[in-house]
Structure 1
Amino acid sequence: MSRLKGAAGRDTRAGFRTEPRDCTTSVPQGLLKAARKSGQLNLSGRNLSEVPQCVWRINVDIPEEANQNLSFGATERWWEQTDLTKLIISNNKLQSITDDLRLLPALTVLDIHDNQLTSLPSAIRELENLQKLNVSHNKLKILPEEITNLRNLKGLYLQHNELTCIPEGFEQLSSLEDLDLSSNHLTTVPVSFSALSSLVRLNLSSNQLKSLPAEISRMKKLKHLDCNSNLLETIPSELAGMESLELLYLRRNKLHSLPQFPSCRLLKELHVGENQIEMLGAEHLKHLNSILVLELRDNKLKSVPDEITLLQSLERLDLSNNDISSLPYSLGNLHLKFLALEGNPLRTIRREIINKGTQEVLKYLRSKIRDDRPTQSDSVTETAMTLPSESRVNVHAITTLKTLDYSDKQKTSIPDEVFDAVKSHIVTSVNFSKNELCEIPKRIVELKEMVSDVNLSFNKLSFVSLELCMLQKLTFLDLRFKILPEVLYRIPTLETVLISNNQVGSVDPQKMKMMENLTTLDLQNNDLLQIPPELGNCVNLRTLLLDGNPFRVPRAAILMKGTAAILEYLRDRIPT
């Protein structure tokens, strides 16, 4: 009873009140009863224009059922109720929150996103236990200074409001790890931000920032910095000293040069597309030892330096829509899983090769490296072998590139001679694309202990047999389908799935979550009418491409922010 007396101390009438009967019209008694036991109450999407008093007073007033039945079992004694710690009132029509908010001092999570709030009450300062506050997608113009009193706050989500400035003392939020201020009207970032020493993720995208303070580099724990869609012309050189930085988004700004990152040894993704960058030099690349994704699309680059080969960890390189006329042959030595070249005036690579996809381009570039070329005598005896079917197997590709290539033959099956040509050689890549295959060749199982890349795109596969499940090292698979084959969910080693330009109508997020190694999922240009929110739980995805589908949400603005933003958006909409 001592806890109840403490609550009554805040309201002298608390011990004599029962819940207003009209509260049941907006909040079912059963929901309140369950909340007293669990400490969690979800009122999302109930068309509320105000928060009922019984919600604020849930831990203060005597519940109505106590007056109806004075005989309580051991599990129903209302005086032993649990303090409310999680309150979700998102997706309603709330225009304001009253100071009665102070009656819920035990709250650790308060979610009010997607309402019509123009302000927050000063009483918010009394929620000293609050760890997560989501007020995104409202109409906030200012934040109360009292918000700086929330010293235990770890996650603060203010995206999609109308904020023009940040209150003084914001740096007092010393426990803050995740801060989202995207899609507001901010023109400056306070220098005091640098004191947010616990911050791991900072989203400043879609504002009106013309510069970043050099002091931001003092955030020694910051891993994710998103400054997409601003007015940045330069990046302070001090940014290069952020040792923990892993993801940096600078798309859609006014940058003329690529920053250098000598101290950012952990940087895994750098997105600088849709700027005005004209040059890419060795000095920009030599320190990017851990980079996995480099996105340079829609700039003014004229060339790619040979030093691109320093990026041995690089998996995705987007150079589309630049002014690049040639590529260094050494680019073929990278282990890229995705290379985008569309929209460049390339003269050294035929369009038909580019259209065949990443692995074909890389193989072409490797074949042009002088040291790897066969001698003239070799070219007669080793380059190809004529088969009875009048097909040709590139033996040189098998021996030097470890690739079994039988693509663009318009054949309904793969001749045995193709597999026989492997003999005792090691083959890590198989390309049977652009044929008339209706099923997976059964003999592909013979390569199960060594092949990692399989390209079966542009065939007539209506289903995928279990042979693929037996490929023990398979990490890359390129297919074309009308439906997503069930067998794909059973290949735990898969890292990349490219199923764009198909007619796929749905995906199973629960089964996809089991694909723990999946980092790239390309679902562009399919027939997806909706994206299941649970897909947001696939947190290992580094690249999720959804453009060109007929779904309405997520909106295009979310898709443009990149994979992390899409996954977060989806997670926020998972029913609680």
Structure 2
Amino acid sequence: MSCSNTVDAFMLSEEREQDSLNVKLNVSSSNPINGVIKILSNSSVISEDVFYKKELKNIYEFTLKDTEVHQLPKNFTTNLINLTILNLENNKLVELPPNISCLANLVHLNVSCNNFHTLSEDVSHLLKLIVLNVNHNTLSDIPKTICNLKNLKVLEMSENNLHYLPESLGDLENLEKLDVSKNILECLPNSIGNLSNLFILNVSQNKLTDIPESFKNLYLLNCLNISHNIMEVLPECLIELPNISSLNVSHNKLQAFDEVLKCAEKLLTLDLSYNDLKIIPKWLFTDHCMFLRDLIISHNHHMTEDCSKQEIFDTGAKYVFKKSLKYLNTSNCNVTTPYLKFLEGLQGLEVLDMSNDLNKFVNSKLPKNMLWEIQVNTLNWSVLLKELWLSNVGLVSVPEDLTRLTSLEVLDLSYNELNWLPDSFCRLKTLKKCKLSKNELAYLPEECGQLEELQEFNLDGNKLCSLPGSFANLTKLYFCDLYDNLLDAVPVELQKLLSLQSLDLEYNHFSTSDLLEKRPENEFFSKYETLKTNLRQQREFYHQRYNCQRPEESLDYNNTSEDATDNELEDVSSGSFAEPPAKDLSWWPSRCVQSLR
């Protein structure tokens, strides 16, 4: 429990008696009490005694958060008559405080993350209320009298069980933000078009098939999220909205997005991902969208080959976007190498993602991006490119001229068919994160130590037998994944990297059974288990490596003799780790899968 106060006029102390919380106010100065009470406790009951204190009349903010409290005392509102902010977030409450209508000065009410099944009509008497947050409850409806809250500017009702919204919602003429996401709404009230001051609207994750025609009256609407619904056709009224800068229509069933939006010239962010689009909207590559900053069209698996033949890709992008487009995501869109022509002229691009998801997540029969080579000349304009994501796209080589991307900080070439890297790769001086997992690399360029800014290096699932000596120069490297390679000993270069915090060397061709027994004083060996744990705890993906049994090694790689070197490590495969998943082993290292089966 904590207490804060602008004039340090009071203190809170906590006493526990039979799982009840008693709060005592101790006046510590002659100044008028005027401040904040915050109660953070594991108690399930709050004593009534504290709310008889007349000093509470000068409290303007009261917080009861993260407790097990189911009900507030009947006298809760007795002396909190000047309260302006009431935060009851994340408790076990099932209803509003008794006589909450007495809190006539309340402007901010937060009862999110509780167990409310209904919202009392008493809330409609709080006429000064500006913010009402009832997120994450189990409300099935809200009272019609909510329209009495004429001063309300923010109404948040996400993550409930709302089937409908009252028609009176449109009477909230001063409302600026409305969030009803994650409910089960099948339609919106026609009166929503009366919310003339609405600036932000989130109706995502519902069951909407359309939106009311009155939507076109929301002239001030700036941010609109209608993602995760079941719309098959873009509503015409949405096309008429003039001031939207952020539009998210992802995760619907849209097959076309051909109409030019009236707000096109003001669009900054557009998300069309996870739909059934057959083609990228042509109007995006005209002067209608001069200021578009973020464009996401990923996971439109039914894009046709006609995309690469459109005339707009010959010259269009050279004359639009200019320096405005910063982020472009075309992953899982049936993109092919010739299609990349449209990238020419994107001078301000900073992040480009053209990857495919792994088969673990996406049906392998669906069309996917196929980029057998990187045409760096198409990216030559993108001098500011910082991130390039090309995972699982069928790459067989890395071009020598990749070094033209002089600002590159993140490069993902994982899950491809690379068996070598050009020496020029080592001249990516700004590279901080490099993912080369699941390729066919047998060696790294001798000068890879020139990647002096490199901090994360994913090399797992390759055929590396050793590391170049210059690897020891990667002094900023703190994450290194060498799992599932052909190393026959612990590379001495790794032992010189003092910044290493995460390392996985398992599933190579050496044994570590005598690791600590032979060299317990070796600092690198003694901390290896910690380094491995650090790596595997970072992402759920890495957890699947636990308890992965190795098959019997051939005699060529049997290094368990008395003459084993100090650099050898054993693959840890004790049964103390969690069992791997029983299904979907397609993404596991082949040797590991065979042993599991």
Instruction: Determine which of 323, 336, 343 is the counterpart of 1:331.
Output: 343
Structure 2: stretches of 5+ with no match in the other structure: 1-16, 26-36, 38-49, 358-365, 383-398, 437-443, 460-470, 478-498, 504-533, 544-597
For residue 503 of structure 1, what is the amino acid of its counterpart?
A: L
The whole-number CA distance in structure 1 between the counterparts of 2:19 and 2:79 is 13
For residue 24 of structure 2, what is the amino acid of its counterpart?
A: Q
The whole-number CA distance in structure 1 between the counterparts of 2:21 and 2:445 is 60
Q: How far apart are residue 180 of structure 1 and its match?
A: 0.7
Instruction: Determine which of 29, 51, 64 is the counterpart of 2:24.
Output: 29
For residue 328 of structure 1, what is the amino acid of its counterpart?
A: L
Structure 1 pair 483–176 and aligned structure 2 pair: CA distance change class (3 A): farther
> 1:553-564 alignment to 2 at 5 Å?
none
> 1:395-474 alignment to 2 at 5 Å?
458=458, 464=476
Is the partner of 2:264 in helix, strand or coil?
Answer: coil
Q: In the alignment, what sits opposite 1:90? A: 89
The whole-number CA distance in structure 1 between the counterparts of 2:89 and 2:160 is 15
For residue 172 of structure 2, what is the amino acid of its counterpart?
A: L
Instruction: Determine which of 64, 68, 91 is the counterpart of 1:47.
Output: 68
> 1:50-89 alignment to 2 at 5 Å?
50-59=71-80, 83-89=82-88
Structure 1 pair 37–464 and aligned structure 2 pair: CA distance change class (3 A): farther
For residue 142 of structure 1, what is the amino acid of its counterpart?
A: D
Structure 1: stretches of 5+ with no match in the other structure: 1-21, 61-82, 354-360, 370-392, 420-426, 445-453, 466-479, 485-501, 507-522, 528-576
Structure 1 pair 168–98 and aligned structure 2 pair: CA distance change class (3 A): farther
The answer on 1:126 being equivalent to 2:138 is no
Is the partner of 1:317 in helix, strand or coil?
Answer: strand
Contact 2:277 2:303 in 1 (8 A): yes
Q: How far apart are residue 367 of structure 1 and its match?
A: 7.4
Q: In the alignment, what sits opposite 2:297? A: 296
Q: How far apart are residue 297 of structure 1 and its match?
A: 2.0
Q: In the alignment, what sits opposite 2:148? A: 149
Structure 1 pair 50–431 and aligned structure 2 pair: CA distance change class (3 A): closer
Q: How far apart are residue 229 of structure 1 and its match?
A: 1.2
Contact 1:205 1:226 in 2 (8 A): yes
Q: Pairwise CA RMSD of aligned residues?
A: 4.4
Contact 1:439 1:464 in 2 (8 A): no
For residue 254 of structure 1, what is the amino acid of its counterpart?
A: K
Structure 1 pair 23–197 and aligned structure 2 pair: CA distance change class (3 A): farther
Structure 1 pair 163–366 and aligned structure 2 pair: CA distance change class (3 A): closer
For residue 63 of structure 2, what is the amino acid of its counterpart?
A: N
Contact 1:228 1:252 in 2 (8 A): yes
For residue 314 of structure 1, what is the amino acid of its counterpart?
A: L
The answer on 1:316 being equivalent to 2:348 is no
Task: For residues 361-419 of structure 1, give each alpha carbon's deviation from its aligned partner in whole angstroms, at most 9, with x where no partner exists.
Answer: 462545799xxxxxxxxxxxxxxxxxxxxxxx96x777x776899999999x999xx98
Task: For residues 109-168 of structure 1, give each alpha carbon's deviation from its aligned partner in whole angstroms, at most 9, with x where no partner exists.
Answer: 111111121212222122111111111111211211221111111111111111111113
Instruction: Determine which of 520, 530, 535 is the counterpart of 1:503.
Output: 535
Contact 1:26 1:52 in 2 (8 A): no
Q: In the alignment, what sits opposite 2:40? A: none
Q: How far apart are residue 442 of structure 1 and its match?
A: 9.7
Structure 1 pair 105–281 and aligned structure 2 pair: CA distance change class (3 A): closer
Q: How far apart are residue 96 of structure 1 and its match?
A: 2.2
Task: For residues 295-324 of structure 1, give each alpha carbon's deviation from its aligned partner in whole angstroms, at most 9, with x where no partner exists.
Answer: 222221122540355333222222222333
The whole-number CA distance in structure 2 between the counterparts of 1:285 and 1:342 is 24
Structure 1 pair 368–463 and aligned structure 2 pair: CA distance change class (3 A): closer
The answer on 1:340 being equivalent to 2:354 is yes
Structure 1 pair 428–217 and aligned structure 2 pair: CA distance change class (3 A): farther
Q: TM-score, normalised by structure 1?
A: 0.57
Structure 1 pair 268–36 and aligned structure 2 pair: CA distance change class (3 A): same
Q: In the alignment, what sits opposite 2:264? A: 264
The answer on 1:192 being equivalent to 2:191 is yes
The whole-number CA distance in structure 1 between the counterparts of 2:18 and 2:120 is 22
Q: In the alignment, what sits opposite 2:560? A: none
Structure 1 pair 88–281 and aligned structure 2 pair: CA distance change class (3 A): closer
The whole-number CA distance in structure 2 between the counterparts of 1:442 and 1:231 is 47
Q: How far apart are residue 431 of structure 1 and its match?
A: 9.3
Is the partner of 2:266 in helix, strand or coil?
Answer: coil
Structure 1 pair 284–237 and aligned structure 2 pair: CA distance change class (3 A): farther
Q: TM-score, normalised by structure 2?
A: 0.55
Question: Which stretch shows the higher mean deviation, 325-334 or 265-274?
Answer: 325-334
Contact 2:167 2:190 in 1 (8 A): no
Give the share of equivalent positions with the same residue, in percent.
21
Q: How far apart are residue 481 of structure 1 and its match?
A: 7.7
Task: For residues 426-462 of structure 1, give each alpha carbon's deviation from its aligned partner in whole angstroms, at most 9, with x where no partner exists.
Answer: x997799675899985998xxxxxxxxx998558687
Q: In the alignment, what sits opposite 1:180? A: 179
The whole-number CA distance in structure 2 between the counterparts of 1:134 and 1:368 is 47
Structure 1 pair 41–98 and aligned structure 2 pair: CA distance change class (3 A): closer
Q: How far apart are residue 244 of structure 1 and its match?
A: 2.1
